[in-house]
Amino acid sequence: MTRRGRRVVAAILPVAVLLFAGRWTAGLLAERWWADAIAPAAVSFLTGWHLLRLTLGAGAVLVASAWFVANLILVYRAIGTVQIARRVANLEIHEALTPAALLTVAVAGGVLLGLLAGAGAGGWTPAVALAWRGVAFGAEDPALGHDLGLYVAQLPLWRILHGFALLLVLLALGIAVALYSLIGALRWMGGRPAINDHARRHLGWLLALLALALGWGYLLEPYELVAGIAGVPDRPTVDLTTLVSPALAGTALMVAVMSVVWALQPRHALVAAGWLVLVITSVGGHYLLPAFNRDPTAPAVDPDLTRSLERRAFGLEVLRDSAEGRLLRAGSPPRLAPLWGGRAVSLLAGSEAADSAPADPAVLAVEARRLPVWLLLRPRGVGAVAADRVTATGEPLYYRLGDTLPYPTPYSLLEFSPHAVRPGAPEYDLSRYARRATSLDTWPKRLALAWALQLGRLLGNVPADARLAWRLSPRSRLEGLLPFVAWSTPVARVVDNELLWLCDGYVAASTFPLVERVPWREGAANLVRAGFVGVVRAESGETRIYLRRDGGPLAEAWAAVAAGVVRPPGELPPAIAAALPYPLELFQLQALVLERAPWGAGALTGRSESGAGEPAPPERGWRPDTGGTRLTALYERPVGQRMSAALVGATRAGLPVLELVRFDSTATLPAPRILEATWARFPAFTQLLDSIRASGVRPDTLLRGALTLWRDGGVLGLYRTYFAPRFGGGLSLVWVGIAQQGRRPGAGRTLDEAWKNLRGVTAPLPPALPSAALEEARRWLRLADSSLRAGDWDGFGRALDALRQVLGEARDTSRR
């Protein structure tokens, strides 16, 4: 390299380092300012987290760079001269590189390789932090006798370090072999390999390190096998691996010694024999012996122990497995009879935010009454759709805040302010009214924030009293505070007339011993627990994270890592604890686990008849006592197409309640798809489809609503609602199918009609009744009159508005 080139490099490198350091420093300062405005206790934790991430990333790059530079310099010392071809006009000139130029190339190449190999080491931060803290389950695995926490906390870090070491050795060995072959230090002569002493010593030590790295991997194999990296093993495989692994590690150690001897003395046959023995024993130990020793019918642990491990892994300690179901108990017909389903209600929103649930079941507490509602997310607020009632013509009814009477007018329960924290919020809020925001009181602070957030607007004309808020969606707020937690989609709750966003924080691992993995997010895991609850107040932006009482040892370990950020379970306000839903993603995983042996609940409904494909999502509804919401998953018998069990989950005072209710094979109902086919054969259902077709709406747009299961004593009952789009917009309840043990299925336009038909009192009525709108109008007229007599002008205005809407809909219907 010329003197001018060296000057350019000397000028560029410091600039690049300063730019990287400046960007990282600006990002760290921005994180600290954001955390100080959101949760001051998080400032020190996030600072330590980012410093650890930087240390790991920089340390890995430095170690890898030093390693590759050292190996390239060793190769450089074996080079006499290297010539490069240069063309001047029509002449080709061979110019020898100077030793200084070769050394510069070696150092630059080593640094580049170090950057490539060490990139991404910052992603090791969660594994390092958890391994440093440790996890103790207080129970040992039955195969190797270690605490279960070793597999969850320490094993992932061991595997990361082993993989990094193996990568460095293999890359260095491959590069060294290629370069020595290129310069002639390693070549074929007379049909035999020839190598000079310098290359032999270098490659010999690299081979010794490779053998040690392989031996390290052999020692990890029993742990990886028990951890289920390649699936749950059988008992003979575990026993064989515990015997073969030390033997292979000893063989690798022997080969490492032989490689060192070869590096010191040119005994080529010795090192070749050693590596040949290692290859043969490795192939035999990994492929030949297991092929003759495997016995899939001999599990590593007995079924009772499998249940115990899966209870710890998926939060099934609270599971009550019996033929009784407290969460299903109700009279006939059920007192709380939800009609609307999540998909149908979501279509009423008109707009769906990608980072939120468009509709979620909840309970409104109004005047000592608990009202089951669907909280509906809208662009400017939240609406409350009555879950258990519709108008006389099947349209939705809406609640207003503090009112127990639902109205056909689509009122908003709560409106968002422009500065509220909400799903779909703008990326930044730069104004004097921004909540939980950072002041822009100094020019260096504005410069650092503009650099970190790539927000050039801060460098322009910004009012002196303006404040900056960012991460305005609930999920991004929680992810910023606890980056190692997998946060769920936020759901809305109204507590004490205030809008809150609730998120479940999941902790997961893929190395929990002797448990089969289940699909989880973008991968698979054999431990998933709902460990945290995130609470974000929409208007104030206040953000709190609480540890769940049933979070498990892994969540407790993470809470200790983030001490000060995570609050203990006892600090969760009782009103919020009462409003918590059962964690949806955890319930889905639990349903999948109970589908397989040794639980044997049956096959989840919704799959194809062959058993393939995804099951139907859980049915979201309410507890029969209206004390909260519940989730329900149904199972079918593989043969007979009848229901075998139901999994029901709910939350009481912040604690989960989970029941697996098994049904007697002689006293159960057909599978839902069988019942749906029966309801569709009713003559009135055919008339309904003809009526929908005549209104200009395609009959295949009929939406399935709620599927509700209840149990009256020992008798099962089930019903499903159906909705059709209305001409001009909206949805209407048009069909209800119902079934109960000991009776033929029934159906009707409403739940009351379907119940009467089930008992044989009436036949299903025609798809439309001309008096329905008139009866609805009369009801609102009576309410308007009673409000006027009581002097309730607000109630009179709402009733009159509802009356106008019903009469308007009736006129529209009469014109069609």
**pLDDT, average across residues 315-329:** 91
Instruction: Give the whole-angstrom CA distance, residue 667 versus residue 293.
Output: 45
pLDDT at 152: 97
Residue range 136-148, pLDDT digits in tens: 999 999 989 999 9
Closest CA to 391 of 372, 406, 374: 406
Residue 487 CA to residue 583 CA, distance in Å, equals 11
* Residue 369: DSSP 8-state: E
For 733-762, the DSSP string reads: EEEEEEEETTS--EEESSHHHHHHHHTTS-
Percentage of residues in the chain with pLDDT exceeding 90?
54
Burial 378-404 (b: 16+ CB within 10 A, else e): beebbbbbbbbbbbbbbbbbbbbeebe
| pLDDT value of residue 13 | 66
**What is the DSSP-derived secondary structure letter of residue 398?**
B
The position carrying tokens 């989609």 is 489
- Residue-wise pLDDT for 414-455, tens only, equals 998 999 999 889 999 999 888 889 998 888 999 999 999 999
Q: Around Cβ 744, how many Cβ atoms within 10 Å?
A: 10
Average pLDDT of every residue of the chain: 87
Query: What pLDDT does residue 174 have?
Result: 95
Q: Tally DSSP H helices, then E strands, for the chain.
A: 22, 29
Across residues 334-339, what is the average pLDDT?
86
**pLDDT category of residue 789 using cuts at 50, 70 and 90:** low
pLDDT at 812: 45
Q: What is the mean pLDDT of residues 96-122?
A: 83
pLDDT at residue 770, rounded to an integer: 42
| pLDDT number for residue 353 | 44
Q: Tokens 């030793």 — which residue?
A: 99
Q: Is 311 helix (H, G, I), strand (E, B) or coil?
A: helix
CB contact set of 36 (below 8 Å; sequence gap of 6+): 43, 438
Helix (H) or strand (E) holding 3: helix 3-38
Cα separation, 317 vs 658, whole angstroms: 9
How many C-beta atoms surround the C-beta of residue 724 within 10 A?
25
pLDDT tens track for 1-38: 556 656 666 666 676 677 778 888 999 999 999 999 99
Cβ atoms of residues 688 and 735 within 8 Å: yes
Q: Which of 378, 369, 383 is nearest to 340 (CA)?
A: 383
Q: How confident is the model at residue 64 (pLDDT cuts 50, 70, 90)?
A: very high
pLDDT of res. 510: 96
Of 652, 582, 590, which Cα lies nearest the Cα of 615? 590
* Predicted confidence (pLDDT) at residue 377 exceeds the cutoff of 80: yes
Token duo for residue 479? 């992810």
Band (771; pLDDT cuts 50, 70, 90): very low
- Predicted local distance difference test score (pLDDT) of residue 610: 56
Average pLDDT over residues 343-362: 71
Following CA atoms 122, 123, 127, 133 in sequence, which dihedral angle do they give, to the nearest 10 degrees?
50
Question: What is the per-residue pLDDT for 289?
Answer: 86
Residues 6+ apart with CB under 8 A from 330: 336, 624, 710, 711, 712
Query: Which position has the higher pLDDT, 793 or 619?
Result: 619
Q: Mind giving me the DSSP string for 98-167?
A: PHHHHHHHHHHHHHHHHHHHHTTGGGGHHHHHHHHH----S-B-TTT--BHHIIIIIHHHHHHHHHHHHH
Look at residues 398, 401, 377, 402 and name the one whose alpha carbon lies nearest to residue 386.
Answer: 398
Q: What pLDDT is attached to residue 811? A: 44
Secondary structure (3-state) at 808: helix
Neighbours of 374 (CB within 10 A): 25
Residue 44, pLDDT score: 94
State mean pLDDT over 735-739: 93
pLDDT reported for residue 292: 79
User: In the prediction, which pLDDT does 718 show?
Assistant: 95
Pick the most confident of 73-77, 507-511, 676-680. Answer: 507-511
More confident call, 94 vs 640: 640
Q: Which of 810 and 717 is assigned the larger pLDDT?
A: 717
- Residues recorded for the chain: 816
Residues 6+ apart with CB under 8 A from 674: 641
State both tokens at 190.
Answer: 């007379």
Higher confidence at residue 402 or residue 573?
573
Nearest to 461 by CA among 439, 448, 443: 443
Residue 48 or 293, more confident: 48
Within a 13 Å sphere around the CA of 727, how many CA atoms are in the beta-carbon half?
14
| β pairing state of 603-604 and 566-567 | unpaired
Instruction: Please name the residues in contact with 730: beta carbons below 8 A apart, sequence gap of 6 or more.
Output: 348, 395, 396
What per-residue confidence (pLDDT) applies to 714?
A: 83
Q: Evaluate if residue 580 carries a pLDDT over 90.
A: yes
Query: How many angstroms separate the CA atoms of 40 and 572, rounded?
Result: 18
Question: pLDDT by residue (tens digit) across 38-47?
Answer: 988 899 999 9
Q: Of the ranges 282-286, 442-446, 461-465, 561-565, which one carries the lowest mean pLDDT score?
A: 461-465
Q: Give me the phi and psi of 253, to 5 degrees please.
A: -65, -40
pTM for the full model? 0.89
Tell me how far CA of residue 186 lies from CA of 91, 194, 199, 355, 816, in angstroms: 32, 6, 7, 59, 91
pLDDT tens digits along 523-540: 999 999 999 999 999 999
The strand ranges marked E within 285-335 are: 319-322
Q: What is each CA distance from 734 to 392, 550, 722, in whole angstroms?
A: 11, 42, 6
Q: Is the pLDDT of residue 495 over 80?
A: yes
List the single range of 9-13, 100-104, 306-310, 685-689 with lowest mean pLDDT: 9-13
3-state class of 719 per DSSP?
strand
**Beta pairing partners, 126:** none
pLDDT, one tens digit per residue, over 632-646 is 999 998 777 899 999
Residue whose C-alpha is closest to residue 633's, from 686, 575, 669, 672:
672
Q: Give me 598's structure tokens.
A: 């040794």
DSSP 8-class letter at 437 = -
Whole-Å CA distances, 385 to 321, 389, 708: 34, 9, 18
Rounded CA separation 765/724 (Å): 17
Element housing 249 (H / E): helix 235-264
| pLDDT score of 814 more than 60 | no
Please compute the mean of the pLDDT values over residues 199-220 and round it to a whole number: 95
Instruction: State the pLDDT at residue 324.
Output: 83
Residue by residue, DSSP assigns 188-226 as EETTEEEE-HHHHHHHHHHHHHHHHHHHHHHHHHHHHHH
Q: Is the pLDDT of residue 490 over 90?
A: yes
Q: Do residues 201 and 264 lie in contact, with contact meaning Cβ atoms separated by under 8 Å? A: yes
The whole-angstrom distance between residue 655's C-alpha and the CA centroid of its chain comes to: 21
Q: Hey, is 324 helix, strand or coil?
A: coil
Q: Residues near 790 by Cβ (< 8 Å), separated by ≥ 6? A: none
Give pLDDT, residue 277. 95
Query: Measured between alpha carbons, how far is 58 from 52 in angstroms, rounded to an integer?
Result: 10
Q: What is the DSSP letter of 357?
A: -
> What was the pLDDT predicted at 696?
59
Burial class (CB in 10 A: 0-12, 13-18, 19+), 603: middle
Residue in 648, 616, 646, 645 with CA at minimum distance from that of residue 631: 648
Q: What is the pLDDT of residue 794?
A: 72
How far is CA 82 from each of CA 77, 105, 126, 179, 194, rounded to the nearest angstrom? 12, 12, 46, 12, 21
How far lies 574's CA from each of 350, 492, 757, in Å?
34, 17, 44
Q: Is the pLDDT of residue 572 over 90?
A: yes
Q: Which phi and psi angles does 624 have, rounded to 5°?
A: -60, -25
pLDDT the model gives residue 816: 37
Mean pLDDT confidence for 315-340:
89
> In which band, very low, low, confident or very high, does the pLDDT at 815 lie, cut at 50, 70 and 90?
very low
pLDDT at residue 613 in the model: 73
In the chain, the percentage of residues whose pLDDT exceeds 70 is 88
pLDDT at 785 over 60: yes
- 164: confidence class by pLDDT, cuts 50, 70, 90: very high
Q: Which of 166-180, 360-374, 617-631, 778-792 has the weakest average pLDDT?
A: 778-792
In which band, very low, low, confident or very high, does the pLDDT at 460 lie, cut at 50, 70 and 90? confident
How many Å is the Cα radius of gyration of the chain? 34
User: What average pLDDT does the segment 396-416 reach?
Assistant: 90
Here the tokens at position 632 are 């329900």
